[in-house]
Amino acid sequence: MLTTASIVESFQNLPDKISLDEAVERLIILDRFERTMEEIDQKKGVSNADVMQEMRQWIQKQK
């Protein structure tokens, strides 16, 4: 879940004028980032090492 502080911090670095689409896009990206970080904290994601191993196996099968 987004916090007011993270929203304010994210918007502080933007130009003085942006479109509504740009603002919504910024919020969506921020929300996805926060959700991903929560999943990582809860060990719900797949580790980089596991993904790399799967990719190596997939590449070997393609040869």
pLDDT tens digits along 8-62: 998 998 899 999 999 999 999 999 999 988 988 898 888 889 999 999 999 999 9
| Residue carrying the six token digits 């918007």 | 11
The DSSP code sequence of 10-44 is: HHHTS-S---HHHHHHHHHHHHHHHHHHHHHHTT-
Its pTM stands at: 0.66
